[in-house]
Amino acid sequence: MEDNWTGTSTVPSRGLYPHQWSWDSAFIAIGLRHLSPLRAQTELETLLGAQWGDGRIPHIVFNPSVPLDAYFPSPDFWRSSTAGRAAGAPRTVQTSGTVQPPVHALAAWLVHRADPGLSRARGFLAGVYPRLAAWHRYLLHRRDLGGAGLASVVHPWEQGMDNSPCWDAPLARVAPAPARSFRRADLDHGAPEDRPTDLDYGRYVRLATDYRDGGYRDGGYRDGPGAGGAFAVEDPAFNALLIASEHALADIAGELGATGTARRARAERLTGVLIERLWDPARGMFFCRDLRGGGLVPERGVSGLVPLLLPTLPGEVAGALVRTLSGPHFGDGTRLVPSYDLRGEAFDPHRYWRGPAWFNTGWLLERGLRVHGERERAGALREAMLDTADASGFAEYVDPYTGEACGAAGFSWTAALTLDLLE
Ligand code: 9WN
């Protein structure tokens, strides 16, 4: 974490991801608060400094001193300050135009609690609260593409689990950009068999290009097919994190002397909507809803377990999630929770979000187990994560059976969340 600190924020990894990423920074701040509460506050403030006028927090904030060819897509692809002008993109800092899961209010609240004295002296919560509120407003209104109250993602990068098999069906409708029209910088640092395929990348590039060329406008699903893009999905983890962050915003409002009652009520109501829209009682987990194709995507991804985090989940839903977590699809002989169904056809223990275990989802599930009183299971997961993080050199992700390191080494959120588990 020291090596990856730039002075105002932390890169996920020096080689593969040399800029600031949105949900990485939230997880990093959660760990950083134990090392330096000031740095943790700064991490979030830097990210929020790149917020767009419409409230979106971009998924990447580019470091201008890093060469353009170090990461693809680079600022000259996104062209945020020109293409995003109508959506209020900042003029001086270059960013992507897509978003990532809203872990930020939760992170801000946890960071505050690590050193309330410093936080109050710096006016930390008073400074971030209006920005976080605008971020949630953006997601709950502009991104309510399904009209039921949940936020949709319009690109797999937004949900953060880029090549999850949950995206295979919705992505299959997207015509890939020609392979020669872009150059993948990720393959300079990562093994091709651990990364998304070229076909996936072609589709990612097409979706991002169309979003950019439409001025990063968020069209309504009800405006007809094509409005707002070919890809629109309601994802359980993205929405669960939004709801958990609404609860955190209620806490923050309380600390600032306001009342968080309306936010708390909204979080509880959205928990009900999440269950109505995405819960499958027969399979005991949540699924993604594909707004363009219609219906739930039948793939079991770890995203469908993350709502365990929610405090007001009915007992039978929480109980079923705990059983699924330790059952044949996620718990059969593994050390850590895989990102995808062990029995699924697309399962691959090394390829990115198609099977490997990641530490951020592990951290969220450990927290969810504790929220629902599953102390023993939480303790076992915590121990396994601590051992594996250390033994893998704080790998980006690991083989869920063996713990073998995959992806980047010295990955920031692995280190940060390890620190948090140690506290
Ligand atoms: C695209 C930075 C990010 C994480 C994502 C992870 C990966 C980027 C990439 O790295 O995505 O955003 O280039 O593959 O999937 O969750 O935030 O660590």
Which positions ≥6 away from 180 have C-beta within 8 Å?
none
Which positions ≥6 away from 296 have C-beta within 8 Å?
278, 280, 287, 288, 289, 290
Cα(32)–Cα(48) distance, rounded to whole angstroms? 17
Cα(143)–Cα(145) distance, rounded to whole angstroms? 5
Active-site residue, 162 included: yes
Q: 58 near 99, Cβ under 8 Å?
A: yes
Question: Is residue 36 predicted with pLDDT exceeding 50?
Answer: yes
**Best mutation site among 19, 25, 162 for ligand 1 pocket (most ligand atoms within 8 Å of CB):** 162
Residue ranges per domain, the chain?
A: 2-298
Joined together, the tokens standing for residue 32 give 């950083």
Q: 47 near 100, Cβ under 8 Å?
A: no
* For helices 124-137 and 236-255, angle between their N-to-C axes, nearest 10 degrees: 140
Residue count of the chain, please give it. 423
Phi, psi of 201 (to 5 degrees): -60, -40
Q: 220 near 152, Cβ under 8 Å?
A: no
The pLDDT value recorded for residue 190 is 84
Choose, from 54, 158, 251, 396, the residue flagged as catalytic: 396
Nearest CA among 178, 164, 170, 161 for reference residue 238 = 161
**By alpha-carbon position, which residue is closest to atom 10 of ligand 1?**
17
Query: Does 186 sit in the ligand 1 pocket, CB within 6 Å?
Result: yes
Burial of 405 (0-12, 13-18, 19+ CB in 10 A): buried
Which positions ≥6 away from 335 have C-beta within 8 Å?
357, 384, 388, 400, 401, 402, 403
Q: 70 near 217, Cβ under 8 Å?
A: no
> Ligand 1 mean position to 200 CA, how many Å?
14
Atom of ligand 1 nearest to the CA of 100: 17
pLDDT band at 19 (very low <50, low <70, confident <90, very high): very high
Per-residue pLDDT tens over the stretch 161-170: 999 999 999 9
Question: Is residue 214 predicted with pLDDT exceeding 80?
Answer: yes
Nearest CA among 150, 159, 157 for reference residue 102 = 159
Residue 412 pairs in a beta bridge with none
- Mean pLDDT for the chain overall: 96
Longest Cα–Cα distance of the chain, Å, equals 56
The pLDDT value recorded for residue 224 is 45
Active-site residue, 396 included: yes
Question: Is residue 221 predicted with pLDDT exceeding 60?
Answer: no
Share of residues in the chain with pLDDT > 70 (%): 98
Per-residue pLDDT tens over the stretch 103-125: 999 999 999 999 999 999 999 99
Q: 231 near 207, Cβ under 8 Å?
A: yes
Question: Is residue 191 predicted with pLDDT exceeding 60?
Answer: yes
Please tell me the least confidently modeled range out of 134-148, 219-233, 237-251, 287-301. 219-233
Beta strand pairing call for 289-290 and 405-406: unpaired
The pLDDT value recorded for residue 229 is 80
Per-residue pLDDT tens over the stretch 273-298: 999 999 999 999 999 999 998 799 99
Query: Does 23 sit in the ligand 1 pocket, CB within 6 Å?
Result: yes
Question: Is residue 155 predicted with pLDDT exceeding 90?
Answer: yes
**CATH 3.30.2010.10 holds for 2-298:** no
For the segment 60-64, the average pLDDT, to the nearest whole number, is 98
pLDDT band at 228 (very low <50, low <70, confident <90, very high): low
Joined together, the tokens standing for residue 78 give 């996104």
Q: 227 near 258, Cβ under 8 Å?
A: no
- pTM listed for this prediction: 0.97
Query: Does 160 sit in the ligand 1 pocket, CB within 6 Å?
Result: yes
